[in-house]
Structure 1
Amino acid sequence: MKTNKLFKPSRLAISVAAIFSMNSFTGIAQETPDAAEDKGLETITVTAQKRIQNLQEVPIAVSAFSGDEMSEAVIKDMYDLQTSVPALGAFQSQSATNSSFSIRGVGTSSQNFGLESSVGLYVDGVYRARQNSMINNLVDVEAVEVLRGPQGTLFGKNTPSGAILVRTVKPSHDGEDGFVEATVGNYGLVNFSGAASMSAIEDVLAFRITAFGSQRDGIVDDVNLGDNKLNDRDRWGARLQALYTPTDELEIRFIADYSEIDEICCAAPVQLSNLQATEIPGKFGSDAVLPGLGGTVFAGGDAFYDREVALSFLPVSTMEDKGLSMEINYEIDNNYSITAISAYRNFESFDDTDTDFTDADLFGTKNDASQSSFSQEIRLDYTSEKLNYILGLYYFSQDLDLDYSLYTDTLFNPFFMSSFQGALDPLLAGIDGVSALTGGAIAPSAEAAPMGTGFDHIAEQDHESYAIFGQFDYKLTDALTLTAGLRYTDESKDLSTVFSENLPDGSEFPTFFSAIGDPAAPVPGTLIYGAGVAGAMLAAVGAGQMSPFDPNFLGAIAPFQTLGWGFQALGATTASRADINETLEDDQITGTVKLSYQVDRDTMVYASYGTGYKSGGTNTDRIREGFEPIFDAETSSSFEVGLKKDFIEQNLRINAAAHYTTVDDFQANTFTGNGFNLQNAGDYEISGFELESSWFPTDSIEVNLAYAYVNAEYKSFERGNCWVAYSWHTGITDPGQESADPANPNPYCNRSGDRPAGEPENQLMLKLKKEFYLSENIFSYVQVEYSYTGDMVLDGSNDPYATQDSYNLVNLRWYMNLEEYDTDIILWGRNVFDEEYINRTNFNTPLQEGKLNAYVSEPVTYGITFKKRF
């Protein structure tokens, strides 16, 4: 091994499977000194398949970070990983409690209570059922690994697209792994963290305590409520561990953790205004009436990047996450060992959001959710010279509870009436006139959409999952290894959603009208048609041709005399719907088979096939008629071929993989402005290529490159969402609309051949690092990180107005290690050129057709970090 002190830190970095090598890694990487001296590139031992193996000999594609790497890179949470890991998507949307992850184009929105994640999320071997629980700060972490491709055999819950594994630092007896760390930066950023181990009984019992806190101002202004208010940081948490090793063969690890988030999140400025249609002169939308309601109108377009919003109140977003786990590892003999992991987790969240996204008092939503789960995993591991295998059992149960309400505010009724531009005013005034003339014998008109109305639902889910799994490696020859595994999963869900519509006076909710309809071609049963009939009869009464007490006249005006008559016609969000009571039973066999061939000491090629699965559920949102509230399980199949190659003389490592994946019954979820439409999309196809390399041209220079190409599209998706904004602004009908009746279109469109939302085809990452000594005792390096993200569609309907062009991000870092004091000082900047882009998603503004809002990305941030080890 090289002993040049100048070179040692960079070698340490790649010894834990540095970011840009497509390596397999699920445990602590370890150097093998003899091999490193011989090859010039480290031999890394990893546990990607639950046992120690040479990283370059494991047929799995994964990017990994050590805790030190993340600390030096000032990676705060999971969202920061996506600028470093190819084919990974991680973003936040409506609130801090809504986060989404995807790998190789396959992901899951967290916006629906009934969905499970397509990406398996694990901390210390424990499955995290709610994606939101993973967004907290990454502190005192030993390693984070991102496994790409279906994980249908070994890892906890079965998942179709990949897994993110987090392993925290264990307690130790030597007492030399403690630290304190502090970061200050712009926007008032203040982070602190620390950890320390204590030996209670030498070599037998050790404890470790970890704590962190994070505060930061927001990055978005509210024109009425103040600057830097939204998207702030307010987090804290702690973890307490005990490690008991009474013998050399037995290890028991206890972990208790607790964390809280209480943030003002998330800001969604106007991307596209509907003040006036872009292509239809004289067509005006809700932004034209907002000023009359005291609201602020934003132009959209480039003004989106002014990071300004106007809300009636600041959103509330809180989370509480806690859990207990115990891991037992027992080495039976030289061949057999057993592992058991038991865990209980509880997750609670609450949101109160101004979901009209304006400062007019129109409507808001409250979302109070909780989840508790228990999991148990038992594995038997056998290791020998030619054969290794793992057999395991897995059990998972969870209870989910959701209490959701959309409520109308003081200005909702005039907002609703303004959408008719006064067309209904004569009818209502006429009814009021008839009421006055009859001395009140005929009732006056009633408010169409009164304030204080609640559209509520309570959802409950009891979920149990059982699995039995096994995987083996067998050396067919010294160079050729066969890996194969199977997993049987049994899923059971009892699902209940109770919907209610509650008028402020407690009266029965009216259901007269099914839709507002087209004024040019009114359809019977719609509001426009009903208003036309009532108006015609009112004219006849006024002309003396009909008695005001005529039953036909009274029947025609009765809906408009009933409180809340406009809600049913407004859309799915405010319409009544049937309750859901379902029991889902499903089972699935998934697995993998791999052949790996060690061409020579420095070259390995492999081919693999794997399958993944996640269960179905119910759509807990109010959705339009024509959409099925029950969705089926999602399954995936993936082929992959890969190469792992070291060029010893050049100190160059190149790893590459090509993959082809099909997903059946992909669970697609898109917001239309009137609720989330969650449907099985039929066939979803992804093909791609990944290239990752590490090169050390000199002892003090490191170059890392990663590229991912992901070509994803719906091969068949016949009942997807339709364009909203583009059709409103241009009058052009979505070409996927297959209804032959333009006055009564289907609520869905054919999306076959379209791209999924938020998934770029191309991603490129480049890292350049130069090491040097400032003095004899101060090691230093400077690093430039560049990432390119290709263009993408932001909406599942592929609306032409819902797109994001490609963008480039640059991060800078100057690292200094004061060896005498064992202290790091890091000057850092992220997105240093303040690139402006939409954070992977936009949406049709609720109940404001033709208007788009989108979520902001992080601006330029910079600061300084101090870390003292002891």
Structure 2
Amino acid sequence: MNSDAPLLPRALAVLCAFATLSPSVHATQGDKNQLEHIVVNAQKSPQNLQEVPVAVTAMSGDSLVEAVIKDVFDLQNYVPSFAAFQNQSVTNSGFSIRGIGTSSQNFGFESSVGLYVDGVYRSRQNALINDLVDIASVEILRGPQGTLFGKNTAAGAMTVSSVAPSFEETDGFVEVLAGNDELLRLSGAASFVVLDDILAMRISGFSSRAEGFIEDTHSGKTLNNKNRSAVKVQWLYTPSDTLSLRVVADYGELDERCCGALTWQSNLQANGVPGKFGTDALLQAPPFNATLYSRDNFFQYTTSLSQVPTSKMTDKGISAQLDIKFNDVWSLVSISAFRAFDSFDIIDSDFSDANLLTAENDARQQSFSQEIRAHYKSKSMRAIFGVYYFTQNLDVDFNTTTQEDFSSFFTIAAADLLPLADAIDGLSQATAGAIAPAGVLAPSNTVFYHSAYQEQDSFALFTQADWRLNGKTTLTTGLRYTIEDKDILGQYGEQGPSIDGLAKNSQEWPNVSKALAGLQQIGTALAAGDAPSDSALAAISPFQSDGWGYYFLGAATVLPRDDLMATFSDNQLTGTVKLAYRPSETTMLYSSLATGYKAGGTNTDRISPQFDAVFDAEKARSAEIGVKQEWRELGLRMNLAAHYTQISDFQATTFDGTGFNLQNAGDIDVKGIELDANWYMTDTTELAFSAARTLANFKTFKKGTCWVAYTWHTGDDDPGRATPEDPFCARDGDRVGFEPQNSAALTVTQYFTLSDIDGWVSVDYQYTGNVYLDDTNDPYKRSPAYQIVNARLNLYFADLDSHLTFWARNLFDEEYVARSGFDVPVQQGKIMAYPGAPRSYGVTVRKRF
């Protein structure tokens, strides 16, 4: 790590300085050298973390507050093998675990990592983009979850639990968080007793505003800003000791300018081919006069766009959880939920202030889910039997629009087509208009629209049992049978000033070689005084209609295709077997075999006609061994896991040089080792450490994306290309994109008391290894390792029951890429990427009552 770690000496110096602080130090907040007893619900029942044969990281609500974790993107640095990132908009955020995630913008995708909030499955991971406010706990389960969780997932699951209503007289807080970039977040929560011991209510909410860290010089606005708010109302009804009903209703909304992509590699001039110029050279000249940037400008956080990116969304729902305890053996849990999610996004598709392309995405989702679980418990066995149903309607409208400069841009960029158009115009003049002239190559202000309406039904039966074979050994077995049905109706069209649809039959598309032959026949016939043949006229006919150049653009978002009516049906049997052995109270050894399943489905995007709109399920098989160990006399806890996973029919997005297409890529092998440790070094000093080594590689991927930028700049072709004409390249053996092979995090916390004020100082050091910004392994898309240091000073005023926290994230202002980048369509050799956030700092005041 050290070769890529210029920050490491400074980070270690800061950590050591805080670890050795001793200003009249004594233990605060209780006995800090005592290991915390952590209860998790990783197996749908409360259990001690150290007794669960699952690799799981749990963080309490207090831990989230103390670490100033404002959203899930802050959370990722504290969990081994977990990543969270967003791409074109906040609507398209994603999670990955152990190298497996979902990075596409396509709404037809489901997630490789399931998200559950208060027991309810969230079909869009962006639903958690709202700040983590009034949270009781967050649990991240690593590895396939193919038994107990609602929507079977191939990589893992995240469960988020809100603070429930309380029957205590006072139970709430108010908080003000302020920071640089005009950040201001107001949040609060309170419980109210309506009927003593019978009915309680809790209200929580927040409002967050901030300017962004990327400047758009064209509009004068900042990108990646914050403008979001949410409210949650809960009721807890407990008429008896054996029955409780919890109802949760929430509403959140967001309206932000996100997300800013910056130039990682320009194409002004090829790096290795003298005299070769790209679209940047064209766009910087008249009539476009675009403001362009290079790699040298990347960390100046500046761009210039003709259209500011817009992300709007509302997320709302209501759920009811009914718990019934029949006796000491049997109990029942029922969770019913309705959710609605609406999003609207606009992006500047050419990523410049030239008026070329914009894309608009308007999506609406409504879902209902019902889960019923019966719990059985005896001295020798604990079991769960359940049924799960999920139904969802998805309605998507997506438009790509060519702006006013596009016709001029394409006419210059496609100059090799102009002689053919000139020849047709010449014939038209020679025949006094009897032969029509060539049409406009690519008229501006043309809208390429498509809509997709999808209905989905998912049904599952599941069971899991813990068999206590003796006082030290427990065998866990589980099975889940899942049925998936999806139907989609897709409609595609084009509308412009002189266009009312393009030919969908590829036999009617413009063909240069046929047209040249036709022109020759027409010329020969006219010279002989004969009438041209119908076949010769038919050969040039496609070039006489406006918009014929769009066929040569080739981008999937504009290629015409037939309307789509498709159905996907599937069923899968998944499950798990685990063996846990506890030789002592403080040691557990376990091994597990598990399978997981990510549903296949139907593609909601306009993709290349050569691809099937239906894709198959993604399936995972995993083996894991682990040890969970405590040395209580030393205040040390250490959990270690080694894993191996095979993913078949991995769902990926392929870029064919002009557009993105979703498909089943092939197989992936993932292997790795993870460490999660806590050590109370002294009564007042705590150390937390996590690390992961993850090797995720494509075992087979025959139709992968080829290198685009590297080949354009150097002339060296992708070694995975079988023939020069092949638009795809084999990615067999290559690394899976977006994921580092090495990551680590170290946190040192020093507790102290000064006069009547208790407090602590905490410093994080976080290392993330190098990544490829997509699945191509293009050498130009390798982003180097980076390190981040965060620091916090917390002061607790007992008389006021209040906390004052001074905090800084990315203290040393490390420059890094947020794991994701892409080739710009129709601008070969140009790469855009999303920058990580620079240093931020502020203060938080939190009053409990």
TM-score bin, normalised by smaller chain: over 0.9
- 1:92–1:672 CA distance, 2 compared to 1 (3 A): farther
Matched, 1:840 2:824: no
Amino acid at match of 2:379: E
Other-structure match for 1:122: 116
Other-structure match for 2:86: 92
Other-structure match for 1:205: 199
Matched, 1:243 2:226: no
Other-structure match for 1:144: 138
Cα distance in 2, alignment partners of residues 311 and 10 from structure 1: 54
Matched, 1:49 2:47: no
Other-structure match for 1:192: 186
Q: Which stretch has the larger CA shift, 656-665 or 504-513?
A: 504-513
Q: Which stretch has the larger CA shift, 366-375 or 618-627?
A: 618-627
Cα distance in 1, alignment partners of residues 367 and 506 from structure 2: 43
Other-structure match for 2:843: 864
- 1:175–1:534 CA distance, 2 compared to 1 (3 A): farther
Matched, 1:638 2:622: yes
Cα distance in 1, alignment partners of residues 769 and 572 from structure 2: 36
Cα distance in 2, alignment partners of residues 159 and 755 from structure 1: 22
Cα distance in 2, alignment partners of residues 789 and 539 from structure 1: 66
Amino acid at match of 2:436: A
Partner SS, residue 711 of structure 2: helix
Q: Is the 8 A contact 1:670 1:795 kept in 2?
A: no
Q: 2:59 aligns with which of 44, 53, 65?
A: 65
Other-structure match for 1:476: 469
Partner SS, residue 801 of structure 1: helix
Partner SS, residue 634 of structure 2: coil
Other-structure match for 2:169: 175
Other-structure match for 1:280: 273
Matched, 1:415 2:412: no
Cα distance in 2, alignment partners of residues 751 and 526 from structure 1: 33
Cα distance in 2, alignment partners of residues 547 and 858 from structure 1: 71
- 1:662–1:439 CA distance, 2 compared to 1 (3 A): same
Q: 2:260 aligns with which of 267, 289, 297?
A: 267
Cα distance in 2, alignment partners of residues 483 and 363 from structure 1: 55
Q: Which stretch has the larger CA shift, 551-560 or 821-830?
A: 551-560
Give 1:295 shift. 4.1
- 1:249–1:727 CA distance, 2 compared to 1 (3 A): same
Cα distance in 2, alignment partners of residues 547 and 831 from structure 1: 78
Unaligned runs of 5+ in 2: 1-23
Q: Is the 8 A contact 1:511 1:565 kept in 2?
A: no
- 1:5–1:140 CA distance, 2 compared to 1 (3 A): farther
Q: Which stretch has the larger CA shift, 135-144 or 40-49?
A: 40-49
Other-structure match for 1:757: 737
Give 1:434 shift. 4.3
Other-structure match for 2:74: 80
Q: 1:564 aligns with which of 547, 550, 556?
A: 547
Cα distance in 1, alignment partners of residues 525 and 793 from structure 2: 83
Other-structure match for 2:573: 589
Give 1:6 shift. 4.5
Give 1:266 shift. 0.8
Matched, 1:854 2:833: yes
Matched, 1:817 2:811: no
Q: Is the 8 A contact 2:487 2:602 kept in 1?
A: no
Amino acid at match of 2:737: A
Q: 1:490 aligns with which of 480, 483, 487?
A: 483
Cα distance in 1, alignment partners of residues 145 and 134 from structure 2: 26
Q: 2:783 aligns with which of 778, 798, 804?
A: 804
Give 1:620 shift. 2.6
Q: Is the 8 A contact 2:811 2:840 kept in 1?
A: yes
Amino acid at match of 1:485: G
Cα distance in 1, alignment partners of residues 191 and 473 from structure 2: 43
Other-structure match for 1:465: 458
Cα distance in 2, alignment partners of residues 77 and 42 from structure 1: 24
Partner SS, residue 324 of structure 1: strand
Q: Which stretch has the larger CA shift, 378-387 or 143-152?
A: 378-387
Q: Residues 386-785 of structure 1: matches in 2 within 5 Å?
A: 386-420=380-414, 422-510=415-503, 529=513, 532-533=516-517, 554-571=537-554, 572-672=556-656, 674-739=658-723, 742=724, 745-776=725-756, 778-785=757-764
Q: How far does the alpha carbon of each residue in 1:410-467 deviate from its partner, in whole angstroms, 9 at most, with x for none?
A: 11111111113x4444443454444345443333322111122221111111111111
Amino acid at match of 1:406: T
Q: Which stretch has the larger CA shift, 292-301 or 528-537?
A: 528-537
Cα distance in 2, alignment partners of residues 546 and 5 from structure 1: 106
Matched, 1:313 2:307: yes
Partner SS, residue 9 of structure 1: coil
- 1:211–1:648 CA distance, 2 compared to 1 (3 A): closer
Other-structure match for 1:9: 29
Give 1:556 shift. 5.0
Partner SS, residue 397 of structure 1: strand
Give 1:709 shift. 0.8
- 1:50–1:8 CA distance, 2 compared to 1 (3 A): farther
Give 1:76 shift. 1.2
Amino acid at match of 1:113: F
Partner SS, residue 75 of structure 2: helix
Give 1:302 shift. 2.7
Cα distance in 1, alignment partners of residues 140 and 695 from structure 2: 20
Cα distance in 2, alignment partners of residues 46 and 452 from structure 1: 55
Give 1:115 shift. 0.7
Q: Is the 8 A contact 2:334 2:371 kept in 1?
A: yes
Q: Is the 8 A contact 2:480 2:575 kept in 1?
A: yes
Other-structure match for 1:17: none
Cα distance in 2, alignment partners of residues 546 and 620 from structure 1: 53
Give 1:5 shift. 10
| % identity of equivalent residues | 48
- 1:348–1:243 CA distance, 2 compared to 1 (3 A): same
TM-score normalised by length of structure 1: 0.91
Q: Is the 8 A contact 1:427 1:534 kept in 2?
A: no
Give 1:166 shift. 0.4
Partner SS, residue 478 of structure 1: coil
Report the count of equivalent residues.
824
Cα distance in 2, alignment partners of residues 841 and 407 from structure 1: 25
- 1:435–1:487 CA distance, 2 compared to 1 (3 A): same
Give 1:171 shift. 0.8
TM-score normalised by length of structure 2: 0.93
Give 1:688 shift. 0.4
- 1:535–1:265 CA distance, 2 compared to 1 (3 A): farther
Q: Is the 8 A contact 1:212 1:238 kept in 2?
A: yes
Q: How far does the alpha carbon of each residue in 1:268-309 deviate from its partner, in whole angstroms, 9 at most, with x for none?
A: 111111111111112111111102242425342231111111
Cα distance in 2, alignment partners of residues 146 and 47 from structure 1: 11
Cα distance in 1, alignment partners of residues 44 and 240 from structure 2: 22
Cα distance in 2, alignment partners of residues 716 and 288 from structure 1: 38
Q: How far does the alpha carbon of each residue in 1:176-199 deviate from its partner, in whole angstroms, 9 at most, with x for none?
A: 221100111111101010111110
Q: Is the 8 A contact 1:424 1:531 kept in 2?
A: no
Other-structure match for 2:769: 790
Amino acid at match of 1:95: S
Higher relative contact order (CA 8 A, sep 6+): 2
Give 1:553 shift. 6.2
Partner SS, residue 29 of structure 2: helix
Cα distance in 2, alignment partners of residues 347 and 673 from structure 1: 32
Partner SS, residue 287 of structure 1: helix
Partner SS, residue 779 of structure 2: coil
